[in-house]
Amino acid sequence: MRIGHGYDVHRLVPERRLVLCGEEIPYELGLLGHSDADVAVHALMDAVLGALALGDIGHLFPDSDPKYKGADSMLLLGEVIGIMRGKGYALGNADITIIAEKPKLAPYIEKMRGNLANAFGCGIERISVKATTEEGLGLGGVGIGANAVVLLEEIDK
Ligand code: MG
């Protein structure tokens, strides 16, 4: 087994979509970034790459490459999952914490879990998505952050 951790933050700005774990969430602000800025999926990809000691997504999908402008982070996740399988690993489980003062994410959590379970081709019980605020002490509504931890299991040959 191998364990990995990922962390990411993006700034909230007007006139951008808010996409978290592949789910578009209606809100007056969205996350700024070169891709769709799905901060939760970015943290998750970094966790998978970290478990494999393969660097990070900035290395794999450089923001200097116009190919990734506005990219769907779920498609990038698909590429990372392909790399994981190529190395002989499957997802044991993933635990993601999204840090946001607003909006309320509870109504979208199950859809987010389903999106990620579909991407990995695993049962939803292997995917945890949680949301927390920082009681106004941290990002304070100017951004959204995410932490992800994964356990990867070597596939029996
Ligand atoms: Mg990012």
> Is the bond into 26 cis (omega within 30 degrees of 0)?
no
Question: What integer pLDDT is reported at residue 153 of this predicted model?
Answer: 98
Ligand 1 center–CA 44 separation, angstroms: 10
Ligand 1 center–CA 124 separation, angstroms: 24
Ligand 1 center–CA 36 separation, angstroms: 9
Residue 9's identity, in one-letter code, is V
At residue 140 the predicted structure's pLDDT band, cuts being 50, 70 and 90, is confident
pLDDT above 90 as % of the chain: 85
Is there a contact between 13 and 32 (Cβ–Cβ < 8 Å)? yes
At residue 111 the predicted structure's pLDDT band, cuts being 50, 70 and 90, is very high
Ligand 1 center–CA 39 separation, angstroms: 5
Ligand 1 center–CA 87 separation, angstroms: 24
